[in-house]
Amino acid sequence: MLQGPIQRGNLMCSQALITGAILETYNEIVEANASRPRCLSAESVAVLELRGSVFGRQFDRYGAVWVGGVEVMRTTTPEPNGQNTIFWTVERDVTSYLSLFLEEEKTVAAVSIPNEVTSEYTGIIEANVTLKVYEGSTSRPADVVKALVPLDASPWTAMGDVSDLDFRLPVRNANRVLLDLYASGHSCEEFWYQNLPGNGTCGGGAFRELEISIDGVVAGIAAPFPVVYSGGINPLAWRPIAGVAQFDVPPYRFDLTPFAGLLNDGANHTMRILVVDQTHVWYIDPVLLVWTDDSYRRLEGAILETDETPRRVALTTLGDNHFLTVGSHGFSVTGDLRNNAVVVSTTTVAGTLALRDDNQIFSDSRQVTTQRSEVTTRVATAGEGARNLTLRDDFSIYVDLLDTSSLVDANITLARSRTLLATNTEEIVTWSSAAKAAAQLTSEDADSDYGVARTDAVFQVVVDDDDDDDRVATPAACFEATAEAKDGFFVANTASDFDCRLPGTHRFCGLDLCDLFAPSPSFRRGGAGANNNTSSPTVVAFSTTTSSSSS
């Protein structure tokens, strides 16, 4: 899985959270008491490392890691075939979640990768989870990290039945509220972008949208990224190069700051989480991240204005077994924060979503799918903590699949591109990941790592800090990683130095820019500590380590 580096300084210490977890049943959850790392502070960079191994024949499996009942990693495993032991490593920056690890008392870490071992599927998964602590943080971790789904003894059952959630903030002075939504589709929802209209098996059509609302007001929308797991479509396509976001399935982040004043009232509120048009299971786990302002005992506020462009999903039949789905949705919400009736800040979050899916069945065994989604989220705060950001997400997938009793022939292209426009600093950062694969799996190849396959992958970061409006050429990538594989073997695997000047205090965190929508370190106490983000980009000397996961 190609991605960028997790920017960090020197390693200070590490703490084993879970050691030698053996996972061989569906309902198995391995827990361990975890102590605070001796070197950890609020100025640390914290990286969670999952190291796994499996030998034997087995399916790809989904899984998660929790600390203190809060999900900190969603993952999937490589699909082995019994020929070799597979080792893999996944890293995820969890600096925003530092408060979970700063507790003086021991907390509970847990890992679950539902598995089933039989005489045919013999692969037993072993997992080790470690927290590594580094110098070099430019982040301000959340003061409160709160899970909204009570997972108890059966987390996957709980996460598969999420709709309306009652919750209450434990603070009265929140000035920034974000939501990390861990979400992944399974069963017939694993390939939702290929689903046909109607009520048949794996029906429901190919439009999906994640929607968050609070007390009946739309608070955020997102298009799910079509993650293809390591056994998905054609397993030879992902050997040895893992697909985009395959092992580290990132959460979808929503900025709920317009609701902060309302949520500070100490009362219960209702969050509704929808996966629009889902017909089977999605595992949903929302985590609240809350930043507070200690210069105020209490911040109040209200929702001042809302607007919504209703969701529209149009299905057009272009011919026999040829379906075009076009969907759109938009919203905006504005809320304020007040202290003793004096307005401290006003925040508007607005989003638009557009999705287009072309699905054509050519025969009982061949289907061609093209889907693209575009989501734009704008966040603007006036007053303390002034900011003006726009995040654009462009996700796409193309699949040409021939699946017969003796042959699985697939051509697949995946692309995930995100662009952050920091209007205050007139800088644009784009990071993108793409994989293109062609693979043929015959009945003779079913138990082999090898076959006729070719996969190319690339990850790039581009920073445009040039204010020359007349420039035509796109700036060169300041980081690029590429990989090429043929018939199960690497042909090329290279990465450049990370030479990117990121805006403000941002770091890069593997798949994404760190701290999206989170406050900067100087925005700690409001008032004089407010950050208007008008300074030049901060450049920090990091040792750059590129995180990789491969089977």
Q: What is the pLDDT of residue 540?
A: 25
Considering its fold, how many domains does the chain have in total?
Answer: 1
The answer, yes or no, to whether residue 28 has pLDDT greater than 60, is yes
Count of Cβ atoms closer than 10 Å to residue 200 Cβ: 10
Q: Does 551 map to a domain?
A: no
What mean pLDDT do residues 148-168 have? 89
Tens-place pLDDT, residues 74-109: 999 999 877 789 999 999 999 999 999 998 888 999
User: For 151, left (φ over 0), alpha (ψ -120 to 50), or beta?
Assistant: alpha
Count of Cβ atoms closer than 10 Å to residue 267 Cβ: 9
* Measured distance CA(338)–CA(45) in Å, rounded: 33
The answer, yes or no, to whether residue 527 has pLDDT greater than 90, is no
Q: Does 26 map to a domain?
A: yes
Q: What is the pLDDT of residue 4?
A: 95
Q: Starting at the edge strand that comes first in sequence, how are the strands of the sheet with 11-23 ordered?
A: 11-23, 124-134, 45-55, 86-93
Q: How confident is the model at residue 190 (pLDDT cuts 50, 70, 90)?
A: very high
The answer, yes or no, to whether residue 224 has pLDDT greater than 90, is yes
* Measured distance CA(486)–CA(484) in Å, rounded: 7
* Measured distance CA(148)–CA(162) in Å, rounded: 10
Tens-place pLDDT, residues 288-303: 999 999 999 999 999 9
- DSSP characters over 476-496: PPSEEEEEEEETTEEEEEEE-
Q: What is the pLDDT of residue 533?
A: 34
Helix and strand numbers (H, E) in the chain are 2, 30
Q: Does 216 map to a domain?
A: yes
SS3 4: coil
Q: What is the DSSP letter of 379?
A: E
The answer, yes or no, to whether residue 246 has pLDDT greater than 50, is yes
Tally of CA atoms within 13 A in the half-sphere of 156 that contains its CB = 19
Could you tell me the residue range of the domain that residue 95 belongs to?
A: 5-546
What mean pLDDT do residues 476-504 have? 95
Mean pLDDT across the chain: 90
Q: What is the pLDDT of residue 445?
A: 56
In the chain, the percentage of residues whose pLDDT exceeds 90 is: 79
The answer, yes or no, to whether residue 537 has pLDDT greater than 50, is no
Q: What is the pLDDT of residue 475?
A: 87
Q: What is the DSSP letter of 149?
A: S
Q: Does 425 map to a domain?
A: yes
- DSSP characters over 208-239: --EEEEETTEEEEEEPPP----TTSS-GGGGS
